[in-house]
Structure 1
């Protein structure tokens, strides 16, 4: 192992030149550099970079290995599917409500014995007797939660995975076989990943009974990731600070863009969360478009005005958000060290899974991780992807272990 470690190349290499990582093009061009933001499922946009439902393994475009290689083990990690925005990303007064009456968000526990629990789910409502109205998002949804559209995307994702790794390649057991000992599923402490995992499992195995999903303790989870690492925090903070000339320049050059957005959203200029990056505006606008909802208008005196977010204004936010992710996770020389420090434990778990299989220590042939954009971004950073963008909904990375039989 020491000889192999000595050969490992841990140097940061600059990525390829791309529109998404070019600050001037992010600021002054139009469109989204080939990405789309709409509610169409991936099956309707084959191979298309649709941020709302990113491409994943599917039979019709799966690149098969040479026939002499035998697939032995698969580990897959992907971002959760589309959801409502986080509450913190809402405008002070949102111009319309967002309802999720077509989804049942279950919250209950079950005894292992004979006394069974009712399947309790939350039904959110606003009491007419309660004078306190929450700021930002309103409606029956939780913010965040995976929406009906996101759940359908998750189910299709699971069905496509099974079609490839059972139907095409024969790695996974049949649905009527004892498959549970051969597969593992893992989620984070954030409920949206378990919501997606349930539909992934349903799409893969066509089951609706109880199924375990692995979750590490809160605060030290390696998949989200949550574990503390001062070095990683300091490196990421440095990239997103005035000490980074490019980061400072991009915020200074975006002043007019922020001003236009603030004028419509009524977000105070003094709100640092909305102005230290484009994260909040990006999530707010993309979530609407991923669900076919209209872009927002300035909401004054209980009615919409004619000052609205035009599509080109939203596109500018998306370009800047993608530039930021490219800068933080790939373009800056400190990005590799920051990502390795904050996601290295998961990389170690992945390598342990591969080694355990090679050494005959496990019968598991498939391990599925439902994670977040920050998880996938760090992984792509460690892999030093050529062109970095903000990982969209359902964006996945697959590791496949093959065996070449002795001739």
Structure 2
């Protein structure tokens, strides 16, 4: 069984004619069937499709484009697909997921069998005044986690010197290299970015989750080494309306998601949970997580994050200190297959509701992108490069809107790049995913999103979310 569509669809997106007289197909188009979306292959398979889950470095012999959960492929010189020189690059917008980190505290076991140390890095928190008679420079203060011998309470989950979550030293190194690789392409290879940082030409943006700022603080000097210890603004929206994370409230999107996704009783969703219940019982016995803890058993998110974070940092799989039973690699592999299946289902293969959910919950960011592209075309924006550091939920919604052909769980550092080109007064967009041209199921975007006329992409975005996201408030307020 591949795709099931018994969820009632109460919305309809069809081909429309935009204000610019471009016929645009706004309907959902099914992705091709793969082993990732085949439940029998997920439950009965072995391995994880040659995906990498145990190192930031993809093993020799595998192409750089290989899915690597710990450090996903991104643009870099050796693999970058150059375009014909008759096209002129005018604007680049990068959005990528943060790099590897510790698990979230909510994804740790009630009692972990070993500590997780982060004494090889410092999380800096300081603030400076810019002006005023009493303006002073601040100290470079950082958090140093400790457990007091006078505190009788043991922390839940991992002991040690980390915050959960925080970017690890390895994740910070990956962030720095990511910046070097991007600069190597857009300055070294293409001569597009200037050699020195120019705040009039480039902007960096983060979410209200501090881990994205931790990434940016290492990515930026990877691009511009002279910016180490320099003051660089990070654009950020108020937490209640942040479109990048996204954090804005959209009740109809939440209701739609709960009708077919995590926490729902829909048979299409619960089929994989029922089929993997034996694995859940086995892991519960090792982890100490109660079988009645619904949060851990409505999806495979918690076990996936816990196990993958360990392997990405060369830590052993967990054991139960009482019974001596340990999680096996085969069990971890099944967890990873189930997680990939879930994201494929939630954001593509569940049907038209995946596109509808994405346009409601990520429509504002898409409208912001569309307005940036328009402004560059109209010559009203001096910014030529924007870089947003976000989350897996950001990337997955955007991939759903772009109707990617093969949906996966966006791993650490997953990257989407929008490149805007001009040629003889005409404008075109190319979209890169993992450093290569993105493949879409949408006929409007083309099977390969390579030099799509800008007006087509804008008409597609406008049709889904409206100019300046004008449709989103109304969609979000629908009952």
> Given the two structures, how large is their TM-score scaled by the length of structure 2?
0.81
**Compared CA separation, residues 5 and 351, structure 1 to 2 (3 A):** farther
Give secondary structure in 2 for the equivalent of 1:370.
strand
Q: Report what 1:180 is aligned to.
A: 199
Structure 1: 5+ residue stretches without partners:
none
Verify: 1:351 aligned to 2:373, yes or no: no
Structure 2: 5+ residue stretches without partners:
1-16, 427-479
Verify: 1:41 aligned to 2:57, yes or no: yes
Q: CA deviation at 1:220?
A: 1.1
Q: Deviations over 1:175-200 (max 9, x none)?
A: 2xx52211100000000000001111
**Compared CA separation, residues 210 and 42, structure 1 to 2 (3 A):** farther
In structure 1, which of residues 307, 325, 328 is the aligned counterpart of residue 343 of structure 2? 325
Q: Which has the higher contact order (CA 8 A, sep 6+)?
A: 1
Worse-superposed segment, 359-368 or 4-13: 4-13
Q: Is the 8 A contact 1:172 1:179 kept in 2?
A: no
Residues paired across the two proteins, number: 401
Q: Report what 1:100 is aligned to.
A: 118
Q: Report what 1:257 is aligned to.
A: 279
**Compared CA separation, residues 34 and 131, structure 1 to 2 (3 A):** same
Q: CA deviation at 1:273?
A: 1.1
Q: Is the 8 A contact 1:74 1:365 kept in 2?
A: yes
Q: Deviations over 1:287-313 (max 9, x none)?
A: 00011100001123xxxx431011010
- C-alpha RMSD of matched pairs (Å): 1.6
Q: Moved runs in structure 1, 4+ residues, more than 4 A? A: 42-45
Verify: 1:72 aligned to 2:93, yes or no: no
Q: Is the 8 A contact 1:42 1:55 kept in 2?
A: no
Q: Deviations over 1:222-270 (max 9, x none)?
A: 0000001111101111112555322121111111010111011011101
Q: Report what 1:313 is aligned to.
A: 331
> Given the two structures, how large is their TM-score scaled by the length of structure 1?
0.96
Q: CA deviation at 1:366?
A: 0.4
In structure 2, which of residues 382, 387, 390 is the aligned counterpart of residue 368 of structure 1? 387
Give secondary structure in 2 for the equivalent of 1:262.
helix
Give secondary structure in 2 for the equivalent of 1:403.
strand
Give secondary structure in 1 for the equivalent of 2:233.
coil
Q: Report what 1:155 is aligned to.
A: 176
**Compared CA separation, residues 389 and 340, structure 1 to 2 (3 A):** same
Verify: 1:203 aligned to 2:203, yes or no: no
Q: Report what 2:301 is aligned to.
A: 279
Q: Report what 2:27 is aligned to.
A: 11
Q: Is the 8 A contact 2:56 2:174 kept in 1?
A: no
- Partner Cα distance (2:272, 2:349) in 1: 14
- Partner Cα distance (2:224, 2:189) in 1: 16
In structure 2, which of residues 410, 424, 449 is the aligned counterpart of residue 405 of structure 1? 424
Q: CA deviation at 1:40?
A: 3.4
